[in-house]
Structure 1
Amino acid sequence: MLGGEPQDVLIDGSVIAEVGVGLPADGAEVVEADGKVLLPGLVDLHTHLREPGREDSETVLTGTRAAASGGYTAVFAMANTFPVADTAGVVEQVYRLGQEHGYCDVQPIGAVTVGLEGRKLAELGAMHESAAGVTVFSDDGKCVDDAVIMRRALEYVKAFGGVVAQHAQEPRLTEGAQMNEGVVSAELGLGGWPAVAEESIIARDVLLAEHVGSRVHICHLSTAGSVEIVRWAKSRGIDVTAEVTPHHLLLTDELVRSYNPVYKVNPPLRTERDVLALREALADGTIDIVATDHAPHPHEDKDCEWAAAAMGMVGLETALSVVQETMVETGLLDWAGVADRMSVKPAKIGQAAGHGRPVSAGEPANLTLVDTAYRGSVDPAGFASRSRNTPYEGRELPGRVTHTWLRGKATLVDGKLT
């Protein structure tokens, strides 16, 4: 049980009816959970579901099945679909697909600019007022590099308490970039993606957020320098939050020596120094949350030479295991801390109603049960996702989600989707 001695949890319909020791189980379906950890359902603030337009790599159905397999009860779907989710009509389509499939709640993220082109603000107000109720906006995959456009977006979303989630990448500093700029890129002769390309945008945007008095969220923060900028901004009272991906907590640019495109991602894998700084920042709260940046691609987009390969990794089904290895087994976080970084805070940032709530009576029964003693090799053949581009194939990772409940309905039982 999360946060103390073993207890029983009684679910009645869609809510937690009671939490205590020795609760009567007459007539109830019993799940034996001795030695396991119960968490509030995980929430991912950064998922690519690809539908509409790239159903060959993922759909809302397959993506939410993957989410349930990984212990997620809510995901936020990024806007870089085809067509782009820059209108009320597209975000409502994604929202309704999520409702129809029912494996987890799907909250669309709206584009900041029309067509992700960075020139003109998208219909932010209309998307917020739509049935989808969009509160998070991002051009993820592309940076809102125009300072005037970014300022206007921050001003616009402030009116309804929204947040702009920035993909921090100065495009002029990353033209032709293939991996992290450093010793390894120099040795391999691959175009470098310098840390300053991320850090300069974050520095600009936290100052803009302070000037406007608005909220900014930093997507997939990846460098030690970025950590220091966010830490400084928070010390000034700037309303900034940040996320780190599981792969940036574990993997380094040394893996690129294999030229295996499975390690090609944006932002790129960084150095060991960056990895350690990210772990410490997640532990001390400078980085607020873990987000997967689940980025599925069909086989042909990854099974090719490095330069031609698409950037991105799937992550929904392995995220919790990676966090257990990098944060729990290193003593940097306990399981209450994991619940905070992977459920409570992402739900708060994204305003995901009913998610990220305590495991207590009267709360929605959005829950995840984890066998923390399990260890096993990652086999992408068993993924629920339509894509298999994982960097962990054959790697032994700890932990296994055995059950997931969405409002009291089991979506995963004994590791199998219902």
Structure 2
Amino acid sequence: MGIRSYVASFVGKSSQWFLKTFTKGGSSLPGKLALKVDPAILDHLAKDYKVVVVTGTNGKTLTTALTVKILQQEFEHVLTNPTGANMVQGIVSTFLSANSKKGQKKFAVLEIDEASLSKVTEYIKPELFVFTNIFRDQMDRYGEIYTTYQLIVDGAAKSPKATILANGDSPIFNSLETINPRKYYGFDHKIEEDQTAHYNTDGVLCPKCQHILHYKMITYANLGKYYCPNCGFSRPHLDYKLTELRNMTNTSAEFTIDHHDYKLEVGGMYNIYNALAATAVAEYYHVAPEKIRKGLGFDEKVFGRQEIINIDGKKCTLVLVKNPVGLNQVINMIGLSPYEFSLVSLLNANYADGTDVSWIWDGDYEAFSTSKVPKVISGGERHQDMTKRLKVADIPDEKIIETQNLDEVIEQIKQLPTEHVYILSTYTAVLQLRKKLADKGYIKGGMDRG
């Protein structure tokens, strides 16, 4: 270790100890300080690890968490970044926190922001990249979907021997030749029927000839067994397949991947893709099916991903939403609920959320304009925009409670007429709400699980 790396590591670890000892944490600051001392500190910190990187628009956090749970059944030391700190400074902080013994086979499973990938791979050399999906998201940061895809392809190219394990059902992941070898996972569970995707869906054009793609099977959005009738572009061979979906509820799913049966303790089709990606990683590293099954079976909710918080007897399911495709998948998942529920919708537009809130108009809020939802709370810093969207979705004025104040949101939740409540929230609103709930004693900490 060079003197600069040594000093950077000392500064980072010392600040990390101080923050954990005397404050409530601070996931990125130690990394920022270490990077100021040595911009190449990651090269030193990650050199003894097998690194798996998870990136893409939706599903990074849960895919990472499931992958970690599975690999922990096989390997003793698996490092990850569980607090959502997925930019460069957060990754440095993750490695600074490592506490492993010499001689251990060490894994690092890292969720990395699409725009940060190239910066991180300047210094670490992953051996596996997991690409979940690419949809329109925070266009002020990422631009259109092909721009985002180019960002992650360029990031992966800096580790050219690493395999890309991509969602084969997404046409964009087959649109470019890559220097990296590729493997694919996907769904193959339905009888084939020729169809096209919904017109208001990302990526419905063939990336080779710009004709409208056709499908033999669609899971959601533009994902499925696609082909172009004009030029022959089609879904690649799947190396890892989900072949049967036996049951799917708002809280769980049962399915078969590569001849083995599994169960997941969170709901929604989009989360089955996350489980499929994690299983594909496990199979890539030759983890046995019984260990995969045990890893997927953990009933431990990830920050903002269907975690359940009890607020004076109200069972509140908190779900992060940030773009149209993800929002609509969450709405579909909620629609599977066998009970009446109330809704809370919190909208912020800070940098971490994306400053453009027009994406809410592509969300199917019309699905809530039924008697199954007796009350809706509209909140967050952009509560007026949220209320307008709900009214246009034909939710009556008398059902809507509008407030920006999160203390008031919490008080109103206590008065809702249903036991079950779904809270849909953008990222910074999740952080703000969880801090309020932590201060009031409903959860353990603003960034901890409740």
Q: Give yes or no for TM over 0.5.
A: no
Max radius of gyration: which structure?
2
Say which structure, 1 or 2, has more relative contact order (CA 8 Å, 6+ apart).
1
TM-score (norm 1): 0.32
